[in-house]
């Protein structure tokens, strides 16, 4: 049963999972094979970035494909910065995780899609462009029915509990909860930017909490801007449309870019023109029923005229530094999904690799966290699951961000740390009192080059000296690290 905040759960978890997107739900199911799991989510399970995912999940399951080809494409998109061991794990375990989803009840469509940056058709999808929603629904159904999992929606993580250098649970707006291990699956931070494809709750709460508690965070300068969001809207017009032949046109109706080039290249090409037109007239639009009806609801007829699009902040590459089993640098704390920095994406994420990352590393983190025998249940006394409030609360996502996210802050990120950055804007942003925004600016200042999704007008070329990750630890100077 899912419980809205207000009921006191009589439940002693082995593992707390914060986040109810695909990473959190899949991790919870994997962990529940052996232990009791409490899932907390500030927004309803139906309102996550995961439910919005359109394109699909990449996996080398086609006859002409192999994990090493998938790995090579991932590394190419990551511009020399991917962590090879993490990419090997991601691509080798991908087919097995797709089978897991099928066994859980996800019905994928026939055939594989081609997306930008992929050299093979390797993207599985469900319901046309409704993949994330279909997958998340199946996982949520399984999680809610599982006898060893409890779900609390409308509960907001504020801080991590640390005792003698170990994470021993969470502090939420409803009280404190202890467990042997805590797994953050709180998603990314792209909603900090003014134009975004993400729901308002993607504000990087888990990343900031982990940093405050003593975990390392990295790669914050890499935010992927999706090239084709509907203008004046957060509606994403998926890469799969371009994979099926949709064209990008300028105002005079001329093509100006390779539609399947990496996202950062296409996004900057469009941004340089302000907006562009996405021509869907010649493609098989019936393959994308949800998208077409979303466009119609907004007054656009894709069969009649090209659709105006512009870039929007879409995916937060950086996050909490983890090893290949989701372990952060803070004992007892694990992370998976968009809030983690495993190194699989390098300087830019390959399309459809992020739901895959949620599955592969969500499972690994869950299994490692449950086996975390060093864990003490310190603090397992009266405050365990204590003090849950009684009032029903507003479940509007974004209402309980750890730090307030104002319109001014979001405009500042868009202006000073958008598709094209420079030192003057980043210095300005670094002075913001918002912790994560200032850390993003700090990371972008350190990277005095342009690579992948990070483009500095004052350092427009790639510099081999920066084939390293910018890692931040509380109280320390940023370090540049190589991850193998």
Ligand X SMILES: Cc1cc2nc3c(=O)[nH]c(=O)nc-3n(C[C@H](O)[C@H](O)[C@H](O)COP(=O)(O)OP(=O)(O)OC[C@H]3O[C@@H](n4cnc5c(N)ncnc54)[C@H](O)[C@@H]3O)c2cc1C
Residue ranges that bind ligand X, judged by CB under 6 A: 18-24, 40-43, 48-50, 52-57, 131-132, 156-157, 185-187, 197-198, 201-202, 205-206, 236, 314-315, 337-339, 352-355, 358, 402
List, as one string, the DSSP characters of 290-327: HHHHHHHHTT--TTTSPEEEEEEEEEE--EEE--TTSB
Smallest distance, Å, CB 43 to ligand X? Answer: 4
Nearer to ligand X, 108 or 315 (CB): 315
**CB nearer ligand X, residue 38 or residue 445:** 38
H helix or E strand, kind and range, residue 207: helix 205-213
Q: Which of 13, 425 has the CB closer to ligand X?
A: 13
β partners of residue 236? 229
Catalytic residue, chosen from 137, 174, 263, 349, is 263
Cβ-contact 152, 170 below 8 angstroms: no
Beta bridge partners of 224: 315
| Per-position b or e across 18-30, b if 16+ CB within 10 A of its CB | bbbbbbbbbbbbb
Q: Is 158 labeled as catalytic in the residue annotation?
A: no
**Minimum distance between the CB of residue 452 and ligand X, rounded to whole angstroms?**
16
**258: Cβ contacts below 8 Å, ≥ 6 apart:** 265, 266
- Give 188 or 331: the residue with its C-beta nearer to ligand X: 188
Q: Which is nearer to ligand X, 73 or 425 (CB)?
A: 73
In the complex, minimum distance from the CB of residue 162 to ligand X, in angstroms, rounded to a whole number: 17
Taking the least distance from each CB to ligand X, the nearer of 139 and 271 is: 139
Selection from 309, 317, 313, 304 nearest residue 353 by Cα: 317
Q: How far is the CB of 86 from ligand X (least distance, A)?
A: 15
Can you read off the two tokens belonging to residue 158? Answer: 């504020």
Least gap, CB of 386 to ligand X (angstroms): 18
Closest to ligand X by CB, 6 or 478: 6
At a CB cut-off of 8 Å and minimum separation 6, what does 406 contact?
Answer: none
CB of 347 to ligand X, least distance (A): 16
Give me the residue label for tokens 């494909």.
Answer: 65
* 98-119: b (≥16 Cβ within 10 Å) or e: bebbeeeebebbeebbbbbbbe
Cβ closer to ligand X: 315 or 334? 315
CA angle 452, 204, 432 (to 5 degrees): 85
Strand order in the sheet with 276-279: 223-230, 307-316, 276-279, 247-249
| Cα→Cα distances 26→23, 101, 269, Å | 5, 9, 37
Distance CA 46, CA 200 (A): 13
Residue 35 per-residue DSSP state: S
Beta carbon of residue 327, minimum distance to ligand X (angstroms, whole number): 17
Integer-rounded Cα Rg, in Å, for the chain is 21
- Select the residue whose beta carbon is closest to ligand X and give its number: 21
Cβ pair 359, 57 in contact under 8 A: yes
- Give the bridge partners for 183, in sequence order: 17, 334
Q: Judged by CB, which is closer to ligand X: 320, or 417?
A: 320
What is the rounded distance in angstroms from the CA atom of residue 43 to the CA atom of residue 205? 13
Distance in Å, CB of 354 to ligand X, minimum: 4
The residue written with tokens 């029915």 in the block is 145
Closest separation in Å from C-beta 45 to ligand X:
7
Bridge partners for 223 per DSSP: 316
CA dihedral 113, 118, 121, 122 (to 10 degrees): -80
Active-site residues, by number, are 263
């Amino acid at each position: 049963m899912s419980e809205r905040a207000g009921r006191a759960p009589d439940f002693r978890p082995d593992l707390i999972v914060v986040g109810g997107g695909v990473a959190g739900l899949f991790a919870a199911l994997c962990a529940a094979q052996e232990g009791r799991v409490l899932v907390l989510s500030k927004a309803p399970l139906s309102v996550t970035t995961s439910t919005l995912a359109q394109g699909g999940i990449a996996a080398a399951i086609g006859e002409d494909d192999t994990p090493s080809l998938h790995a090579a494409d991932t590394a190419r998109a990551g511009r020399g910065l991917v962590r090879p061991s993490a990419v090997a794990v991601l691509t080798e375990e991908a087919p097995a995780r797709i089978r897991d989803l099928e066994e859980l009840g996800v019905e994928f469509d026939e055939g594989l899609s081609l997306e930008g940056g992929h050299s093979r058709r390797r993207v599985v999808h469900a319901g046309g462009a409704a993949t994330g929603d279909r997958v998340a629904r199946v996982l949520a159904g399984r999680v809610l029915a599982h006898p060893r999992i409890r779900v609390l929606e409308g509960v907001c993580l504020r801080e991590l509990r640390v005792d003698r250098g170990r994470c021993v649970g969470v502090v939420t707006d409803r009280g404190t909860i202890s467990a042997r291990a805590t797994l953050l699956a709180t998603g990314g931070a792209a909603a900090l930017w003014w134009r975004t494809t993400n729901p308002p709750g993607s504000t990087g709460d888990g990343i900031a909490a982990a940093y405050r508690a003593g975990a390392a965070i990295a790669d914050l300068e890499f935010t992927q801007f999706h090239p084709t969001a509907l203008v004046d809207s957060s509606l994403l017009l998926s890469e799969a449309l371009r994979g099926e032949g949709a064209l990008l046109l300028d105002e005079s109706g001329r093509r100006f870019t390779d539609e399947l080039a990496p996202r950062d290249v296409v996004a900057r090409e469009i941004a340089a023109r302000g907006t562009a037109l996405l021509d869907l007239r010649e493609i098989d639009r019936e393959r994308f029923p949800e998208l077409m009806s979303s466009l119609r609801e907004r007054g656009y007829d894709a069969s009649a005229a090209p659709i105006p699009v512009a870039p929007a902040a879409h995916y937060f590459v950086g996050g909490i530094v983890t090893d290949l089993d989701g372990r952060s640098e803070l004992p007892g704390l694990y992370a998976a999904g968009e809030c983690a920095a495993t190194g699989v994406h390098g300087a830019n994420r390959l399309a459809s690799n992020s739901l895959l990352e949620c599955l592969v590393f969500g499972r690994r983190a869950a299994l490692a966290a449950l086996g975390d025998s060093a864990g003490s249940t310190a603090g397992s006394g009266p405050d365990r699951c204590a003090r849950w409030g009684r009032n029903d609360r507003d479940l509007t996502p974004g209402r309980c961000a750890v730090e307030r996210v104002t319109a001014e802050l979001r405009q500042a990120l868009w202006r000073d740390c958008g598709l094209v950055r420079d030192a003057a804007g980043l210095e300005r942003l670094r002075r913001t009192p918002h912790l994560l925004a200032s850390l993003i600016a700090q990371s972008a200042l350190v990277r005095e080059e342009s690579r992948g999704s990070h483009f500095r007008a004052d350092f427009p070329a790639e510099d081999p000296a920066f084939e390293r990750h910018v890692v931040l630890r509380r109280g320390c100077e940023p370090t540049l690290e190589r991850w193998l």
